[in-house]
Each structure stands twice: as C-alpha cells, then as structure tokens.
Amino acid sequence: MFDVPFIALGIVWYAALLVAFVFHEAAHALAAYKLGDPTAYHDGQVTLDPVPHLRREPFGMIVVPVLSYIFAGWMIGWASTPYDPHWARAHRKRAALMAMAGPAANLLIVVAAALVIRGGMLLGFFAAPDEITFTHVTAAPEGGFANSVAIVISIAFSLNLLLFAFNLIPLPPLDGSDILVFFLSDSAAERYDAMLSQPAYRIMGLIVAWNAIDVVFGPIHSLAIRLLYPGVIYG
C-alpha cells in the first residue's frame, strides 16, 4: 500500500490541500482586517505562511488529511480563522463580505490553474485528456515530468473548485450561511444569527452539506471542464 507512487501522490495531495486552506483562511483574515476586525491579524493569520495556520488547526490541517488519505485515498480536513463575534453582529454586511473572501480565494486558484492548463496547451506541454477525473483534468502528451505537473495542476483545479462549491452551500457553519445575510433585513438577520449559533444546527448543517456536495459537485465540475475545454465533449 505504502509504495512510492502512493506516497508521492499523497505529497501532491497534501501540498494542494495546504495551499488551498492557507489561501482560503488568509483571505478571510485579510478581508476581516480591511473591514474593521483585526482579530485574525493580531493572531498572525494574515499571511500565506502556512505555519500560523497549522498551529491554529493542527488536527484539521495535518492529522485528518493524512489519515483520510491513508484510509480513503483522498484528503479532507479543515482550517479556521478567528474573528470578533461582536464585530460580526454589529457589522453583518461586512462579516458577509469576509465570509465571501475565502471561497473567492479558492476560485482564484481554480482560474489560475485553468490559465496554466490553457497556456501549457498552447506550448504543447498539456492536452485535453481522453477521460476526466478529479486528479486527471489535463494530460501531458510527452509524459515524464510534464505528467507530474499535470497531476499537480489537476488536483489544484478540482480541489479548489470543490472547496469553493462546498463552502458556498448556505448551511452553518459554512461560509455560504453568512453570505445569506446580504439578503435579510436586520431583524431577520438577528433571528438567523441566533439560529446559527446553536451547535445542533451547525452539526446538522455539516451533515446535510456533506451529502449535498456529492450531488452538486458533479455538475459544477462538468461545467468547469466545458469552460476549460470548449467544444470537447466528455461522457
């Protein structure tokens, strides 16, 4: 089981997951700081240095990803950014913008990966694959080092798209639940905030979102692939 290809792919998975988490949480922290909440800034989270983020969530960013890869062959985990709940309640619209910053960072990585793929295709480095999977979004006709790069870019593309979609599900404790505040009146937002603070709703939200992402991610991934390879049809 623990052969060289398995370990090498695990390293790629972890590197992609770490970058995705760090960009996501640093974006939250930076947005909060710019919008008036310096909590994450003072905690050292406004940085792309992974160390402060790993120190904050070692279990979600180290232990769970490694164990999930060993037992499932793919990685899951979590990270977090501290914020002032009093600031969030007093400035709900700003807090919603802060919540949007994390998924936006993941979408930015998806776009960057797509640009690398398209640029690589122009140079003959990459090509549209015969079959699309989570870890095989682009192919390298020449093989070798180019194939390794193709796997890295493929995982970065798919993983960040997954995190973008998952975090936008409007259920607590995901970012999408805070974004809904944009569409609520002040009184409705207060009642909604009180509901979100209940642990039971957060646990239920995670369970429902975990099941929902299996349904919604396939079409989202397929749409992204059609935009990446216009005119190419995959079954």
Token pair 């402060």 is found at 52
Catalytic site residue from 25, 131, 142, 190: 25
Show the tokens assigned to 185.
């009146």
DSSP-derived secondary structure for 16-61: HHHHHHHHHHHHHHHHHHHHT--HHHHTT-SSS-HHHHHHH-HIII
Q: Does residue 25 carry a catalytic annotation?
A: yes
Q: Which helix (H) or strand (E) holds 152?
A: helix 145-167
Distance of CA 149 to the CA centre of its chain: 20
Q: How many residues does the chain have?
A: 235
Task: Say if residues 137 and 153 touch (Cβ distance below 8 Å).
Answer: yes
Task: Give the active site residues.
Answer: 25
